[in-house]
Amino acid sequence: MKAGKRREAIVVAATECFAEKGYHATSISDIIDSAGIARGTFYLYFKSKHDIFRFILDDFIKHIGDQIKRISLAGRVSPADQMRANVERLVDAVLERPAPAKIIFNEAVGLNPEIDDRLRSFYGKLILMIEKSLARGITLKIVREVDPRLAATIIIGAFKEVMIQKIVFKQSRFSRKAIVDGLINVLVGGLGGRPVIGI
Amino acid sequence: MKAGKRREAIVVAATECFAEKGYHATSISDIIDSAGIARGTFYLYFKSKHDIFRFILDDFIKHIGDQIKRISLAGRVSPADQMRANVERLVDAVLERPAPAKIIFNEAVGLNPEIDDRLRSFYGKLILMIEKSLARGITLKIVREVDPRLAATIIIGAFKEVMIQKIVFKQSRFSRKAIVDGLINVLVGGLGGRPVIGI
Amino acid sequence: MKAGKRREAIVVAATECFAEKGYHATSISDIIDSAGIARGTFYLYFKSKHDIFRFILDDFIKHIGDQIKRISLAGRVSPADQMRANVERLVDAVLERPAPAKIIFNEAVGLNPEIDDRLRSFYGKLILMIEKSLARGITLKIVREVDPRLAATIIIGAFKEVMIQKIVFKQSRFSRKAIVDGLINVLVGGLGGRPVIGI
Amino acid sequence: MKAGKRREAIVVAATECFAEKGYHATSISDIIDSAGIARGTFYLYFKSKHDIFRFILDDFIKHIGDQIKRISLAGRVSPADQMRANVERLVDAVLERPAPAKIIFNEAVGLNPEIDDRLRSFYGKLILMIEKSLARGITLKIVREVDPRLAATIIIGAFKEVMIQKIVFKQSRFSRKAIVDGLINVLVGGLGGRPVIGI
DNA sequence: TATGAATGAGCTTTCATTCAT
DNA sequence: AATGAATGAAAGCTCATTCAT
C-alpha cells in the first residue's frame, strides 16, 4: 500500500475511535485493530498516541479556521449575507466531518497541557476574530452596544452546543438550514418579542 | 472523626483534584494525599474512582437544577424579572462552586458511558425546561417565533461557554453583573442594531 | 512481611538475576518471579529497573571502598602487612558477595550514561587512591620508580581479572590464599628471575 | 558497489556504532544509517545483529592473536626482547583499531551465551599461551616460581585495564612507549624497592 | 542485489482496587 | 473504622527481523 494512503487510513481509523470512545478510552490496540495494521506499523506513521491525536486536532482546527472569511464592507455582498455564508460554511464543515468535530467539541481540557493549549488557543483565536468583527459592527452601528468579547463568547458557545446536540446526540430536528437560520435568528434578532418583556 | 465529616472531606479533596487536573490525570493517590487519609479508607466511603466522580457530578447537577424556578405569570413579579433572577442564581451557583462547575463543563464526554448518560440527561432536562418555557413564551407572544429546542440549546451553550471562560480561563472582565447583563441582553435583545443589517 | 525484609529480598533476587544474565537480559519478570512477588510490588520498592541496578551497584561500591584502609607508617604494623590486609579484605569482600561483584566487573560500560559515570568514578577513585599510595612509597624508597598512575592501573586490572576468573569462570585453582599471595608476589616482586632476562 | 566492499563498509559502520554506544544501545537503524544502506540490505550480508557483532569480535580476536609470536630460545634475539616485541605489537594492534578494541574490552559478558563463550575462549587461549610461556620460563629459571596461570591472568588483566584507560577514558599520559615500558617494568621487575618491604 | 514498509513478540511501567492486619 | 502493602491487568512503545516488490 502507498504510504500516504496507509497514513490516511490510520488517521481515519483513529478519528473514528477517538470520536466514539474519547481519547483515554481509545487504546492503540483499538486503533490498529480498526485500521487492520500491526502494532509497529502505527508507530511508523505516528510517534505516539498523542501525536496522532494532535494531528487530527490540528488538521480539523485548520479546516474550521479556513471556513471563516473576513467580512468586507466594500463588495456588493451585504455584511449580513457574508456572515450567513460564514455560518453556513462552518456548519457544513462540521457536518461533513462529524468525527473530528466530536473530538474537538467533547475532549475539552485535561488531556495534556500541550493539547489543552492548542484548544485554548484555537477558541481564543476564534473568539478574538468574532470579537473584532463585532467591535467593528458596533462602530458602524450595525451591531448593538454590547461587550464584544462576551458576545463573541456567547456566539461560540451557542454554535458549539448546537453542533454537539446535532452530531453527538443526533438531534435530527436540527437540519442544516434549521441550524443556520436558528443561530442567526436568535443571535442577531434576539429572543424577545415586540416589545421585549421576558421569556 | 465523624463518618459524615470524613466523607465530606474526601469529596472536597477529590473535587479539588478533578477540577485542577481532570478525571484521568487525577489518581487515587492524589485524592488520598489531598484528603490526608489512607488508601483503604477511601474505599470505605466510595466504591471506586468513578463512584466519587459520579457523586460530585450528581450533587452539583442537583444544586444547579435547584436554582431554576418555574416562571409564574400569576404573581406580581414580571416574567422578565423572574428570568433574570434565574440567570443570577445560576451564575452565582457556578461562581460559588467553581471546582465542580469546572468538572461538569470540561470533563464532558468520553469518560464512561454511565457518566456520559448522566450529563446527557442533565443537559437534556435543562434544555427541555427552557424549551418549554420558550414555547410558553411564544404562545404568549413575549418570545419571538423560533424553534424552541434550538433556542434552548443556544441558551445553554452560551451560558456554558461564558462560564467556562470565566472559571477555567479566568476571564476577569466577566464580572457577575457583566455576565448576567450580557447574556440577557444578547439573547433577549439580539445583536442586531436597528434596523438589523448584519454584523 | 516487613517492608525492609521485602526490599532486601527483591535486592537479593535482582542481584542474582543481573549476575546470571546481565542487565539487559534480565527482565522485570525475571526479578519478580525470582522474588516471588507481583509486578506492582517491585515498583513499590524501586522506581525502575535502573533504580535497583544503581542501588546494587552503589551498595557494593561502598562495601568495596570500605575495605581499603589507608596505610599508616606510624603504627607497629609494617606497611607490607597493612597492604596485605587490604588485599585480603578486598578479596574476601568479593568472594563473599560474588553476585554483585560479577555485575560490577562484567557489566562495564554502555548501559546508561549515569551508571557509566558511577563506575568510571569508582574506578577513578580507586586508581587515584593506589596512585597516591604508590607515589608516597616511591618517595620513601619502598616502591621502585615507576609512573604511579600506570602502576595503579595495572594493579586494578590485575585484581579485576583475577577476580573475574575466580567468580565468573569459577577458576577453582584460585583459592583465597593463592589469589592474595599471587597478586602480592607478582606485583611486588615481579616476574623476573635473578637476574631478569625475559619470560 | 562490489559485494565485498559493501560488506566491509557495513562492518566499519557497525564497529563504530558498537564502540561508541555499546551493543544494546546500537540499533540496526544506527548501523544502516551510518552505512548508508537500506534495512533489508543489512540482512543480505549478516543474518542478525549478533552475527555482525560476532564477526567483528572474531576478526579482532584473530588479529590480536596474530600479534603474539612464540618466544624462541634458539635465535639470536633474547627472550626479553622477543617478549617486548610481543607487547609492542599487541599495544600497536589495539591503538591502531581502538573501536573494536573498545568493544572487546568493554562489552564483556551477558550479551548472549554464544558470544560470552567466544570471549571466554579468547581470553582462555590467551591466558593459556602466556601460562605455558611462563611455565617454560620458570623451568629455565628466568621466571620466578609463581602459579603460572595466576600470573598469566594478572598479565592479561593489567594489559586490558591499561588499554581501557587509554582508549576508553583517553588517558593521554599513557603513550605507546609509556605503556610498553610500564607494563614490562612493573610485571617483570615488580613494584618493590630494594629490599622489598611493601607499598 | 537492493529496498523499506510491515510485523509482532516482548519490554517497562502505571494505577485502581483488594485484603490481611 | 482505618491502614497501606500487595496485586495484576492492561497500557504505550521498541526494534530485530521478514518479505513483497
Instruction: Name which of A75, D197, A182, D90 is nearest C144 in CA terms.
Output: D197
Q: Which residue is nearest to nucleotide F2 (CA to C1')?
A: B41
Q: Is there a domain that residue A198 lies in?
A: no
Final residue in a domain of this structure, among D28, D46, D64: D46
Q: Is there a domain that residue D196 lies in?
A: no
The pLDDT assigned to D197 comes to 33
The whole-number average pLDDT for the span A119-142 is: 91
Same-domain status, C38 and C77 = no
Confidence grade of residue B65 (pLDDT, cut at 50, 70, 90) = very high
Count of beta carbons in the 10 Å neighbourhood of residue A40: 8
Ramachandran angles phi, psi of B172, nearest 5° = -70, -20
Of B110 and A198, the one with more pLDDT: B110
Of residues A24, A109, A187, nearest to B168 (C-beta): A109
Hey, what's the cell of A66? 479556513
Question: Which of residues 4 to 23 on C have a Cβ less than 7 angstroms from any strand F atom?
Answer: 6
DSSP C187: I
**pLDDT value at D182 more than 90:** yes
| pTM for the whole structure | 0.90
Percentage of residues in chain B with pLDDT exceeding 70? Answer: 93
Q: DSSP 3-state assignment of A173?
A: coil
Asked if residue B83 lies in contact with residue A198, where contact means CB atoms within 8 angstroms, the answer is yes
CA dihedral for A30, A32, A38, A42, sign (positive or negative): negative
Ramachandran angles phi, psi of B188, nearest 5° = -85, -50
Q: Is there a domain that residue D197 lies in?
A: no
CA–CA distance from A8 to each of A4, A11, A56, A60, D179 (Å)? Answer: 6, 5, 11, 14, 62
Sort out which chain C residues have CB atoms less than 8 A from D151's CB and list them.
182, 186, 191
- The residue type of C166 is K
Angle at A99 between CA A94 and CA A104, to 5 degrees: 70
Closest nucleotide relative to residue A7's CA, C1' based = E5
The pLDDT assigned to B117 comes to 80
Same-domain status, C144 and C60 = yes
The pLDDT assigned to D111 comes to 67
- The residue type of A177 is K
Quickly count helices (H) and strands (E) in chain A: 9, 0
**pLDDT value at A195 more than 50:** no
Angle at D6 between CA D1 and CA A1, to 5 degrees: 80
Instruction: Name which of C66, C83, C95, C65 is nearest C164 in CA terms.
Output: C95
Asked if residue D48 lies in contact with residue C166, where contact means CB atoms within 8 angstroms, the answer is no
Same-domain status, D40 and D118 = no
Chain C closest-CA separation from residue D92 CA (Å):
17
Asked if residue C86 lies in contact with residue C67, where contact means CB atoms within 8 angstroms, the answer is yes
Question: In Å, how far from its chain's centre is CA D40?
Answer: 32
Q: Concatenated DSSP letters for A5-19?
A: HHHHHHHHHHHHHHH
Hey, what's the cell of D157? 588483566
- CATH code at position B152: 1.10.357.10
Hey, what's the cell of C77? 604494623
Q: What's the structural domain count of chain A? A: 2
The pLDDT assigned to C199 comes to 33
**pLDDT value at B175 more than 80:** yes
Same-domain status, C58 and C114 = yes
Across the interface, do D197 and C161 touch by the CB < 8 Å criterion? no
The whole-number average pLDDT for the span A102-129 is: 81
Same-domain status, A166 and A118 = yes
For the stretch C102-115, pLDDT in tens is 988 876 556 677 78
Cell 561508541, residue?
A: D20
Same-domain status, B96 and B69 = yes
Hey, what's the cell of C61? 561500591
The pLDDT assigned to D105 comes to 84
Q: Which helix (H) or strand (E) holds C68?
A: none
End-to-end CA distance of chain A: 60
Residue D137 domain boundaries = 51-189
The pLDDT assigned to D90 comes to 96
Same-domain status, B78 and B154 = yes
For the stretch A18-55, pLDDT in tens is 999 989 999 999 999 999 999 999 999 999 999 999 99
For an interface test with C, give the residue of D73, D88, D153 to mutate (most C CBs within 10 A).
D153
Percentage of residues in chain B with pLDDT exceeding 90? Answer: 72
Q: Is there a domain that residue D86 lies in?
A: yes
Of D84 and D192, the one with more pLDDT: D84
Asked if residue C32 lies in contact with residue C38, where contact means CB atoms within 8 angstroms, the answer is yes
The whole-number average pLDDT for the span A158-168 is: 94
The Cα–Cα gap between B138 and A73 comes to 35
Sort out which chain D residues have CB atoms less than 8 A from C126's CB and list them.
none
Same-domain status, D25 and D55 = no
**pLDDT value at B194 more than 70:** no
Sort out which chain B residues have CB atoms less than 8 A from A108's CB and list them.
105-108
Q: Which residue of B has its CA nearest to A191?
A: B188
Instruction: Name which of C8, C5, C130, C160 is nearest C70 in CA terms.
Output: C130
Cell 613494584, residue?
A: D191
The pLDDT assigned to A199 comes to 33
Of residues A157, A158, A189, nearest to B190 (C-beta): A189
The Cα–Cα gap between B131 and D162 comes to 87
Angstrom distance, B140 CA to E4 C1': 72
Confidence grade of residue A192 (pLDDT, cut at 50, 70, 90) = confident
The pLDDT assigned to B57 comes to 93
Q: Which residue of A has its CA nearest to B121?
A: A169
Angle at D112 between CA D109 and CA D115, to 5 degrees: 70
Of residues C25, C151, C182, nearest to D182 (C-beta): C151
The pLDDT assigned to D108 comes to 57
The whole-number average pLDDT for the span C34-54 is: 97
Beta bridge partners, D143, equal: C192
Same-domain status, A109 and A37 = no
Asked if residue A71 lies in contact with residue A86, where contact means CB atoms within 8 angstroms, the answer is yes
Same-domain status, C164 and C136 = yes
- CATH code at position A7: 1.10.10.60
Confidence grade of residue D199 (pLDDT, cut at 50, 70, 90) = very low
Q: Is there a domain that residue D85 lies in?
A: yes
The pLDDT assigned to B2 comes to 75
Same-domain status, B61 and B36 = no
The pLDDT assigned to A37 comes to 97
**pLDDT value at A85 more than 80:** yes
Asked if residue C134 lies in contact with residue C143, where contact means CB atoms within 8 angstroms, the answer is yes
Across the interface, do A197 and B146 touch by the CB < 8 Å criterion? no
Confidence grade of residue B1 (pLDDT, cut at 50, 70, 90) = low
Average pLDDT, chain B: 90
Q: Is there a domain that residue C194 lies in?
A: no
Q: Is there a domain that residue C195 lies in?
A: no
The Cα–Cα gap between D173 and D190 comes to 21
Beta bridge partners, D192, equal: C143
Q: Is there a domain that residue C117 lies in?
A: yes
Confidence grade of residue D10 (pLDDT, cut at 50, 70, 90) = very high
The Cα–Cα gap between B126 and B123 comes to 5
Residue D175 Cβ < 7 Å to strand F: no
Same-domain status, B2 and B66 = no
For the stretch C142-183, pLDDT in tens is 899 999 999 999 999 999 999 999 998 888 899 999 999 999
Chain B closest-CA separation from residue A28 CA (Å):
16
Hey, what's the cell of B35? 484528603
